Homo-oligomer: A and B are copies of this chain.
């Protein structure tokens, strides 16, 4: 294995691990249990699942990987706090969307070379990227992995 391959593998292993941990948390719950709040007055598990699905779905255009699969989730799970708007998808549909988005992203990441990882993401200008080459796709995926881990820490409290 070359250093570049080891690097890709290391980052991908972390991404997959965090996704699989969140999968395990919500996969072990009934649809009814998904309506629980992580703590009194805090977000529902359902909201966190919607929030992570929407956030990950936004990576398709952000990383130049094509169109989003579920833009309908943003209003409810990114723009607004929990319970302000009704859930646009059923639990079954949302669980399916979560898996679909992550599987498609993971398949794309598995084809990334080191050059691909270090390309700029689409929310940064050429000029700003020249000043700060750390604003690359790798940074986005590491950041989103941390973000999923952040909400996993909350989700386990509901158990």
Q: List A residues at the B interface (Cβ < 8 Å).
A: 1, 3, 6-7, 9-11, 13-14, 17-18, 38-40, 42, 114-115, 118, 133-134, 136, 138-139, 142-143, 145-147, 149-154, 157
Lowest 3 A-B CB distances belong to which pairs? Answer: A39-B39, A150-B153, A153-B153
Once A142-B11, A142-B14 are accepted as A-B contacts, the answer to whether A157 and B42 lie under 8 Å apart by CB is yes
- What are 28 A-B pairs at a CB distance below 8 A? A3-B114, A3-B118, A6-B136, A7-B7, A7-B138, A10-B134, A10-B138, A10-B139, A13-B139, A14-B143, A18-B146, A38-B39, A38-B157, A39-B39, A39-B40, A39-B157, A42-B157, A142-B145, A146-B146, A146-B149, A147-B149, A149-B149, A149-B150, A150-B150, A152-B153, A154-B154, A154-B157, A157-B157
Instruction: Tell me if A's interface is mostly helix, strand, loop or mixed.
Output: helix
Q: How far is the CB of A142 from chain B (nearest CB, A)?
A: 5
Which chain B residue has the least Cβ–Cβ distance from A114? B3
